[in-house]
């Protein structure tokens, strides 16, 4: 999510996926699926490259996409994990694959950060966006016993004690580092960013008193809030979220920011329009697929859809926003 953006979160009208071809066995197997796909795609197994390790959000949701895709195509779908370089290794592998639509990639805010941080040359112009399917709004949290008990308290403390608030993040240059920096920047306060190896260690640091606060995904931190270990001060989203139903948005409290993380899939930049459109048709069916919807709901993944054009515009906004933030705050990887 880009801070202070006016991009709409609209769900694209679902395209007509299956045409009436007659009640013959051939039409049901070849014709029906063939019309959904268009052209020769897919003609063999489709691979989705997850740039992070198995078990994380990118991996789990990509596998849910792959499972649902097999309900709408006549080929198998597989997810591979190619990790390293803050996600750049896997994203580069997918971006540089044969542009025939049989290798797709999973991406996140990092693709708008690589160039600004000098991590990789890969950027939004090097991919063909297919669909964003989820968002992870950032939640600002403190220890349950902290003297800071509201967003106003947090801002006031930061104003009175510049540079003293220790704000844990999931790794220098990560999307949650950027979320923390964006929130502090919007609030007009200076904080000390302390990097940990992932969101879970960052939350643990606050629970253990090693850090004063952190900004991580609302759904991810919800169990610690429910258990009474952490207190949520606000969610950086346009509306209250189901995972933290008792926590106001930051906008409701006067801080005009929406920021966090998200996931989407892409194809190589030089894929032809016919193949891209065929992939998009399948993804529109996946997004509404009962199996996919159930997985997302059962695992607290927020369903937010941006189709290829809106996703492309969103990536450009992300690239500009994060570039300005990195330059203004002199952030480095």
Total tally of structural domains belonging to the chain: 2
259: left (phi over 0), alpha (psi -120 to 50) or beta: beta
102 within a domain of the structure (yes/no): yes
Do 146 and 214 sit in the same domain of this protein?
yes
Examine the fold and report which residue of 228, 253, 278 is the final residue of a domain before the chain moves on: 253
Are 243 and 96 within one domain? no
Give a yes or no: residue 5 inside a domain.
Answer: no
So what's the pLDDT on residue 13? 35
Whether 151 and 144 have beta carbons less than 8 Å apart is answered as: no
Together in a domain, 115 and 161 = no
Q: Which of 227, 236, 231 has the alpha carbon at shortest distance from 256?
A: 236
226, 288: one domain: no
Distance CA(74)–CA(131), nearest Å, equals: 21
The pLDDT tens digits of the residues spanning 51-102 come to 999 998 999 999 999 999 999 999 999 999 999 999 999 999 999 999 999 9
Strands (E), the chain: 46-50, 77-81, 103-107, 127-143, 166-169, 192-195, 213-217, 230-235, 260-268, 302-306
Q: Provide the 3-class DSSP secondary structure of residue 148.
A: coil
Question: Of 223, 253, 283, which residue is a domain's last?
Answer: 253
φ, ψ at 241 (rounded to 5°):
-110, 150
291-328 pLDDT per residue, tens: 999 999 999 899 999 999 999 999 999 999 999 999 99
Chain centroid to Cα 197, Å, comes to: 18
Q: What is the pLDDT of residue 202?
A: 95
203 plus 229 within the same structural domain: yes
- 225 and 320 housed in the same domain: no
**Strand, helix or coil for residue 137:** strand
Task: Decide if 77 is inside a domain.
Answer: yes
Given 229, 253, 277, the domain boundary residue is 253
Exposure string for 221-239, b = 16+ CB within 10 A, e = fewer:
bbebbeeebbbbbbbbbee
Q: How far from chain centre, in Å, is Cα 112?
A: 12
CA pair distance 58, 90, nearest whole angstrom = 11
- d(C-alpha 24, C-alpha 26), whole Å: 5
Specify whether 208 is located in the same domain as 170.
yes
Q: What is the pTM of this model?
A: 0.85
pLDDT (0 to 100) of residue 1: 46
3-state secondary structure of 249: strand
What is the model's pLDDT at position 172?
87
Co-location of 304 and 225 in the same domain: no
- Element (H or E) spanning 313, and its range? helix 308-329
249 and 142 co-located in one domain: yes
* Within a domain: 11: no
pLDDT on residue 173: 87
Residue for token pair 């489709």 = 46
CA 104 – CA 47 distance, rounded (Å): 6
- Per-residue pLDDT at 8: 36
Q: What is the token pair recorded at 55? A: 């078990």
128 and 185 fall within a common domain: no
In a domain, 130, yes or no: yes
Rounded CA gap, 303 and 323, in Å?
27
Strand partners, 263: 134
- Is residue 156 located within the same domain as residue 244? yes
In a domain, 13, yes or no: no
Domain that holds residue 127: 25-135+263-329
Place of tokens 């346009």: 238
CA distance 53 to 116: 24
What's residue 198's pLDDT? 87
Residue 79 counted as domain residue: yes
Q: Does 131 lie in the same domain as 143?
A: no
Low-confidence ranges of the chain (pLDDT < 50): 1-38
CATH number where 154 lies: 3.40.190.10
- Crossing angle of helices 175-187 and 308-329, in 10° steps, is 70
Structure tokens belonging to residue 152: 């106003």
3-state SS track over 60-79? HHHHHHHHHHCCCCCCCEEE
On whether residue 124 sits in a domain, the answer given is: yes
């Amino acid at each position: 999510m880009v801070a202070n953006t006016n991009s709409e979160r609209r769900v694209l009208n679902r395209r007509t996926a299956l045409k009436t071809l007659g009640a013959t066995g051939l039409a049901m197997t070849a014709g029906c699926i063939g019309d959904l796909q268009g052209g020769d795609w897919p003609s063999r197994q489709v691979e989705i490259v997850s740039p992070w390790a198995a078990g994380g959000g990118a991996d789990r949701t990509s596998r849910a996409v792959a499972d649902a895709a097999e309900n709408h195509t006549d080929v198998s779908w597989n997810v591979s994990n190619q990790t390293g370089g803050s996600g750049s290794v896997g994203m580069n592998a997918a971006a540089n694959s044969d542009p025939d639509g049989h290798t797709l990639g999973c991406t996140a805010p990092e693709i708008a950060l690589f160039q600004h941080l000098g991590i990789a040359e890969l950027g939004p112009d090097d991919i063909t966006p297919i669909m964003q399917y989820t968002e992870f709004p950032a939640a600002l949290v403190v220890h349950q016993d902290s003297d800071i008990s509201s967003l106003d308290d947090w801002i006031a403390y930061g104003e009175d004690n510049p540079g003293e608030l220790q704000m844990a993040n999931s790794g220098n240059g990560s999307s949650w580092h950027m979320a923390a920096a964006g929130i502090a920047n919007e609030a007009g306060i200076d904080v000390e960013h302390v990097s940990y190896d992932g969101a879970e260690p960052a939350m643990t640091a606050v629970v253990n008193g090693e850090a004063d606060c952190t900004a991580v995904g609302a759904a991810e931190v919800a169990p610690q809030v429910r258990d009474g270990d952490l207190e949520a001060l606000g969610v950086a989203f346009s509306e209250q979220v189901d995972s933290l139903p008792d926590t106001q948005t930051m906008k409701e409290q006067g801080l005009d920011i929406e920021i966090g993380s998200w996931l989407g899939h892409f194809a190589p930049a030089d894929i032809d329009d016919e193949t891209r459109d065929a992939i998009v048709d399948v993804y529109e069916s996946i997004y509404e697929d009962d199996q996919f919807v159930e997985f997302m709901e059962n695992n607290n993944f927020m369903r937010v859809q941006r189709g290829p054009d809106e996703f492309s515009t969103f990536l450009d906004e992300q690239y500009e926003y994060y570039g300005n933030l990195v330059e203004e705050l002199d952030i480095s990887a």
